[in-house]
Structure formats: C-alpha cells, structure tokens
Amino acid sequence: MTLGLAETRTISISAPPAQVVGYLADPRHLPEWAPGFAAAVDHDHDDIWRVRTEGGAQRMSVRVAADHGVVDFVSADAPNLGLFTRVVPNLTGAELIFSLFFPGDTDPSAVAAQMAVVGDELRAVRDHVESGR
C-alpha cells in the first residue's frame, strides 16, 4: 500500500461551526473562496457538480455531513482525491481544517505552492463567513 503525503492547514473563524459548514456546503460559493480553482460551478445531479477550471471542466462530488462538520470536495471519478474539510468548535467560534494529499514523489516546491493557495482559500472562507457575505 502506498500512502500519500498529507498536508493540513487550519484557521480560526469567529462564527458558529454550523454557519461555516453552511457556507462551505454550497458549492456555488467555490468561485468566491477558491477562484484559482473554480471559475464557475453548475449542479449536475445529486452531490455531483461541474466545476469550470483553467484546465477545463471537472466533475466534483461535494459530500456533506453537516452534523459532523464534514464538507469534502472530491473528484467524482476518483473520490480519494480532493480537499477534505472539517469544521470543529473552537470555544465560541469554529476551527476550519483543510487537508490535501499528494503522491509521495510530488516536488516539495509544488506542495508548498499549493499549500500557499490553501492558506489564501482558508482566509477567504473566514472573511466571507465573518462578514456574512
């Protein structure tokens, strides 16, 4: 069995966990907080969405377990690939956790570049949720 390289980042948000989950659970918000990934998002069926990216259209499954603070954005064709998120209580607010997995031989500079983008995305989610936009 080959394991990937795991990278996780978190951010504290001054909002209830349910509000953070509610924002993330609507894939139509993707272009707001992940503009480098999603130029536009359209519903396909069930939990499958079509995401327009610079590299072309992708089918993504958005898996939500709101009661558990889970919102995962995974490839509809390869569900072990994608962004795995958790929202947990942080005293009176929430902690948003993003985890990504890379093949073990991924160039470290590529991982660092992607995780810098993840930092921007976390801040964008926080800003949107805290402002109520």
The residues, any chain, with a CB within 8 Å of residue 105's CB and separated by 6 or more, are: none
Asked if pLDDT for residue 115 goes beyond 90, the answer is yes
Judged by DSSP in three states, 13 sits in: strand
Evaluate whether residue 58 is within a structural domain.
no
Evaluate whether residue 53 is within a structural domain.
no
Evaluate whether residue 113 is within a structural domain.
yes
Evaluate whether residue 16 is within a structural domain.
yes
Q: What average pLDDT score do residues 74-93 get?
A: 95
How does DSSP classify residue 39?
Answer: S
The parent domain of residue 100 ranges over: 5-36+64-131
User: What one-letter code names the amino acid at 75?
Assistant: S
User: What one-letter code names the amino acid at 110?
Assistant: A
* Domain harbouring 80, CATH code: 3.30.530.20
Share of the chain above pLDDT 90, in %: 92
pTM exceeds 0.85 for this model: yes
For residue 114, the model assigns a pLDDT of: 96
Number of domains in the chain: 1
Evaluate whether residue 122 is within a structural domain.
yes
For residue 122, the model assigns a pLDDT of: 98
Q: What average pLDDT score do residues 112-118 get?
A: 97
Q: What tens digit of pLDDT does each residue of 25-61 get? A: 999 999 999 999 999 999 999 999 999 998 899 999 9
For residue 132, the model assigns a pLDDT of: 85
Asked if pLDDT for residue 98 goes beyond 90, the answer is yes
Evaluate whether residue 105 is within a structural domain.
yes
Report CA-CA distances (Å) from 16 to 25, 58, 80, 89, 128: 14, 31, 28, 7, 13
The full 3-state SS of 43-87, as one line of letters, equals EEECCEEEEEECCEEEEEEEEEEHHHCEEEEEECCCCCCEEEEEE
Interatomic CA distance for residues 96 and 103, integer angstroms: 24
Q: What average pLDDT score do residues 62-77 get?
A: 97
